[in-house]
Chain A
Amino acid sequence: MGDETMDKADIQAGRLDSEALAENFADVHQPLDQTAALVEAQRCYFCYDAPCTAACPTGIDVPGFIRAIATGNVSGAAMTILTENILGGSCARVCPTEILCQGVCVRNNVDGRGDQPVAIGMLQRHAIDHLDPAAAHPFLRASATGKSVAVVGAGPAGLACAHGLARQGHEVTLFEARTKPGGLNEFGIAAYKVPDNFAQEEVSFVTAIGGIDMRYGLALGRDIALDDLRRDFDAVFLGLGQDGVRALEVPGGDLAGVHNAVDYIAALRQADNLAALPVGAKVVVIGGGNTAIDIAVQSKRLGADDVTLVYRRGPAQMGATVHEQEFAQINGVRIKHWLRPLRLEGRGGEVRAAVFAAVRQSDDGSLLDAGTEQSLPCDMVFKAVGQAFVPPGDVGLQLAAGRIAVDQDGRTSLPDVWAGGDCVAGEDLTVQAVQDGKIAARAIDLFLRENGS
Chain B
Amino acid sequence: MADLRCDFAGIKSPNPFWLASAPPTDKAYNVERAFKAGWGGVVWKTLGEDPPVVNTTSRYGAIAVNGQRMVGFNNIELITDRPLDVNLAEIKQIKRDWPDRAVLVSLMVPCEEAPWKKILAAVEDTGADGVELNFGCPHGMSERGMGSAVGQVPEYVEMVTRWCKSMTAMPVLVKLTPNVTNILAPARAAKAGGADAVSLINTVNSIVSVDLDHMAPNPMVDGKGSHGGYCGPAVKPIALHLVAEIAADPECAGMAISGIGGIETWRDAAEFISLGSHSIQVCTGAMHYGFKIVDDMIAGLNNWMDGKGYSRLQDFHGAAIANLVDWQDLNINYELVARIDQDKCIKCGLCHIACEDTAHQAISVTGQGPLRRFEVIDPECVGCNLCAHVCPVEGCITMAPVDNGKPYLNWAVDPRNPHAGAAE
Q: Knowing A38-B67, A42-B66, A54-B369 are in contact, say whether A47-B344 is a contact too (CB < 8 A).
A: no
Q: Knowing A39-B67, A54-B369, A104-B370 are in contact, say whether A110-B346 is a contact too (CB < 8 A).
A: yes
With the chains together, A107 CA to B343 CA distance in Å? 14
Q: Are B67 and A48 in contact (CB under 8 A)?
A: no
Does residue B347 face the partner (Cβ distance < 8 Å to A)? Answer: yes
Q: CB-CB < 8 A to A45: which residues of B? A: 348, 350, 392
Query: How far does the Cβ of A98 sit from chain B's closest Cβ, in whole Å?
Result: 15
Q: Are B369 and A110 in contact (CB under 8 A)?
A: no
Interface size on B, residues (CB 8 A): 19
Q: CB-nearest residue of chain B relative to A51? A: B369
Q: CB-nearest residue of chain B relative to A72? A: B212
Q: Are A111 and B344 in contact (CB under 8 A)?
A: yes
Query: How far does the Cβ of A243 sit from chain B's closest Cβ, in whole Å?
Result: 35
With the chains together, A70 CA to B66 CA distance in Å? 8
Q: Are B348 and A47 in contact (CB under 8 A)?
A: yes
Q: Are A51 and B370 in contact (CB under 8 A)?
A: yes
Q: Are B393 and A110 in contact (CB under 8 A)?
A: yes
Q: CB-CB < 8 A to B372: which residues of A? A: 49
Q: Are B348 and A48 in contact (CB under 8 A)?
A: yes
Does residue B352 face the partner (Cβ distance < 8 Å to A)? Answer: yes
Q: Knowing A38-B67, A39-B67, A111-B344 are in contact, say whether A46-B350 is a contact too (CB < 8 A).
A: yes
Q: Knowing A45-B392, A48-B353, A51-B369 are in contact, say whether A106-B67 is a contact too (CB < 8 A).
A: no
Q: CB-CB < 8 A to A46: which residues of B? A: 350
Q: Could you give, for residues 100-120 of chain A, a 1 whenever the CB lies within 8 Å of some chain B CB and a 0 otherwise? A: 000010110111000000000
Q: Could you give, for residues 378-419 of chain B, a 1 whenever the CB lies within 8 Å of some chain A CB and a 0 otherwise? A: 000000000000001100000000000000000000000000
Does residue B217 face the partner (Cβ distance < 8 Å to A)? Answer: no
Q: Are A47 and B67 in contact (CB under 8 A)?
A: no
Q: CB-CB < 8 A to A38: which residues of B? A: 67
Does residue B233 face the partner (Cβ distance < 8 Å to A)? Answer: no
Does residue B14 face the partner (Cβ distance < 8 Å to A)? Answer: no
Query: How far does the Cβ of B346 sit from chain A's closest Cβ, in whole Å?
Result: 4
With the chains together, A50 CA to B344 CA distance in Å? 18
Q: CB-nearest residue of chain A relative to B372? A: A49
Does residue B349 face the partner (Cβ distance < 8 Å to A)? Answer: yes
Chain A contacts with B in 345-360, Cβ cutoff 8 A: none
Q: CB-CB < 8 A to A47: which residues of B? A: 347-350
Interface size on A, residues (CB 8 A): 19
With the chains together, A70 CA to B67 CA distance in Å? 9
Q: CB-nearest residue of chain B relative to A111? A: B344
With the chains together, A73 CA to B323 CA distance in Å? 45
Q: CB-CB < 8 A to B365: which residues of A? A: 48-49
Q: Are B344 and A106 in contact (CB under 8 A)?
A: no
Q: CB-CB < 8 A to A110: which residues of B? A: 346, 393
With the chains together, A405 CA to B305 CA distance in Å? 73
Partner of B347, one of A42, A55, A106: A106
With the chains together, A118 CA to B223 CA distance in Å? 38
Q: CB-nearest residue of chain A relative to B368? A: A54
Q: Could you give, for residues 344-379 of chain B, a 1 whenever the CB lies within 8 Å of some chain A CB and a 0 otherwise? A: 111111101100000000000100111010000000
Interface centre among B348, B352, B372 (most CB of A within 10 A): B348
Q: CB-CB < 8 A to B353: which residues of A? A: 48-49
Chain A contacts with B in 49-89, Cβ cutoff 8 A: 49-51, 54-55, 70
Q: Knowing A54-B369, A111-B344 are in contact, say whether A42-B349 is a contact too (CB < 8 A).
A: no
Q: CB-CB < 8 A to B66: which residues of A? A: 42, 70
Q: CB-CB < 8 A to B349: which residues of A? A: 47-50
Query: How far does the Cβ of A337 sit from chain B's closest Cβ, in whole Å?
Result: 29
Q: CB-CB < 8 A to A49: which residues of B? A: 349, 353, 365, 372
Q: CB-CB < 8 A to A51: which residues of B? A: 347, 369-370
Query: How far does the Cβ of A109 sit from chain B's closest Cβ, in whole Å?
Result: 4
With the chains together, A109 CA to B369 CA distance in Å? 13
With the chains together, A110 CA to B393 CA distance in Å? 7
Q: Are A106 and B348 in contact (CB under 8 A)?
A: yes
With the chains together, A109 CA to B67 CA distance in Å? 22
Known: A106-B346, A106-B347. 6 other contacts (CB 8 A): A38-B67, A47-B347, A49-B349, A49-B372, A51-B347, A109-B345
8 A/B residue pairs, CB under 8 Å, sorted by A: A38-B67, A46-B350, A48-B352, A49-B353, A51-B369, A51-B370, A54-B368, A55-B369
What residues of chain B have their CB less than 8 Å away from a CB belonging to chain A? Answer: 66-67, 343-350, 352-353, 365, 368-370, 372, 392-393
**What are the 9 A-B residue pairs with the smallest beta carbon separation, nearest first?**
A48-B349, A109-B346, A48-B353, A106-B346, A47-B348, A42-B67, A106-B348, A42-B66, A45-B348
